[in-house]
Amino acid sequence: MNNRKKFKKGTAKNEKAITLIALIVSIIVLLILAGVSIAVLTGENGILNRATEAKKTDEEAEIMEKIRLAFLNAQNIIICIVE
């Protein structure tokens, strides 16, 4: 009977140790994932920088389109006046 009690105590201690190791491993994996995510977001070619560049390009294209439309509109007005 004493052997069973000793075995159960040892098993409980091992289970706690395994749980603690699993917790530490999980935290390390999460830290690695967080580091990779931050690098992808804020790196030189990261998502945030690419989004900023895309916004600038879109704004430039919008301005060019407005200029082109204004030029075509002015050209149509001149053609209407001449006719």
Q: How does residue 8 score in pLDDT terms, banded at 50, 70 and 90?
A: low
46: buried, middle or exposed (CB in 10 Å: 19+, 13-18, 0-12)? middle
Q: What is the pLDDT of residues 12-48, one digit of tens each?
A: 666 777 788 899 999 999 999 999 999 888 888 889 8
Interatomic CA distance for residues 29 and 23, integer angstroms? 10
- Can you read off the two tokens belonging to residue 13? 């201690």
Residue 21 CA to residue 75 CA, distance in Å, equals: 76
Q: Does residue 26 share a domain with residue 3?
A: yes
| Look-up of token digits 């999980």 | 26
At 55 the pLDDT is: 96
Tens of pLDDT, residue by residue over 55-70, are 999 999 999 999 999 9
Q: In which domain, by residue range, is 83 found?
A: 51-83
Output helix, strand, coil percentages for the chain, rounded to the nearest 5. Answer: 95, 0, 5
Q: Are residues 26 and 4 in the same domain?
A: yes
Q: Are residues 35 and 55 in the same domain?
A: no
- Work out how many domains the chain is built from and give that number: 2
